[in-house]
Amino acid sequence: MRENDRVGSLVLLGVAVAACVGAAQHEVGTLSSPGPGLFPLLLGVVLGVLSLLILVRDLQARLAAAPSVPSGGGVAAFGKEIICVLLALVAYSLLLIPLGFIITTFVVFGFLLRFVTKQKWYLAVGWAAVLAVGAYVIFDVFLRVPLPQGVLGV
C-alpha cells in the first residue's frame, strides 16, 4: 500500500496560501517592530515550502516506482461508514440544545448502533435507550454536569 501524498500536500499548500492571504490583511509591520500579521505570514510561507517539498517527493516516488501503473488510484478520503458517523456527530451537536440530551442521545446513538455497528434494530433501540438514560443519570444526577434539558425540561 503506497501513501498518497499528492492530495494531502495540495491541501496543505491551499492552507498555506490562505494563511498568507489572511495574514497579509493584518498589519505585517516591519522586522524591527513586527505586527500581528508577520508571524502567521512566515508560517504560511514555511508551510507552503514544506508542502511543495512533499509534493515533489511524492511525484518523484510516483515516477520512480511504477510508471506503467495508472496513477490516481482514487481512494475516497472518507468511507461510507465514516461519513455516517461524522454526520451523526454533527447532527448531535446541532440537536443537543433544542432537543435536549436524552432525546438527542437516543436518536443519534440509535442510528449509530443500527447502521454503523449493525446491531439488530431492537437491540439498537434498547442500547440507545440505556445509553441515553444511563449517561444522563451518571453525568447530570451524580456528577452534576448540567446537561441540556431541551423539550423534556418544562
Partner 1 sequence: MEILNYVLYGFQVALAAHNIFACFMGVLLGTLVGVLPGLGPVATISILLPITLKMAPVTAIIMLAGIYYGAQYGGSITSVLINVPGEATTVVTCIDGHKMALAGRAGAALGISAIGSFIGGTISLVGVMFLAAPLAAFALRFGPPEYFALIFLAVTLITNLAVGSPLKGLAMAVLGMLVGVIGMDLGTGVPRFTFGIHALYDGVGLVPVIMGLFGIGEVLSNVEREIKTEIVKTKIKNVWPTFQDWVASRMAILRGTVVGFLLGLIPGGGALISTFASYALEKKLSRHPEKFGHGAIEGVAGPETANNAGSQASFVPLLSLGLPSNVVTAILIGALIIHGVEPGPLMMKSHPDIFWGVLVSMYLGNVMLLILNLPLIALWVQILRIPYRLLLPLIMLFCLVGVYSTNFSVFDVLVMVFFGAVGYLMNRFKYEPAPFVMGMVLCPIFENAFRQSLTLSDGSFLIFFTRPLSAVLMIGGILILASYLLPWFRQRIKVVQENACD
Using CB under 8 A as the criterion, which residues of the chain lie in contact with partner 1 when the complex forms? 3-5, 7-8, 12, 15, 19, 22-23, 26-27, 30-40, 43-44, 46-47, 50-51, 53-54, 57, 77-79, 81-82, 85-86, 89-90, 92-94, 96-97, 105, 109, 112-113, 116-118, 127, 131, 135, 139, 145-147
Q: Which helix (H) or strand (E) holds 95?
A: helix 80-99
Distance CA 71, CA 59 (A): 10
Identity of the residue numbered 89: L
Least gap, CB of 90 to partner 1 (angstroms): 6
32 versus 68: smaller Cβ distance to partner 1:
32
Q: Strand, coil or helix: what is 120?
A: coil
Least gap, CB of 130 to partner 1 (angstroms): 11
5 versus 103: smaller Cβ distance to partner 1:
5
The torsion angles phi and psi of 134, rounded to 5 degrees, stand at: -60, -50
Distance CA 133, CA 74 (A): 43
The torsion angles phi and psi of 104, rounded to 5 degrees, stand at: -60, -45
Least gap, CB of 122 to partner 1 (angstroms): 16
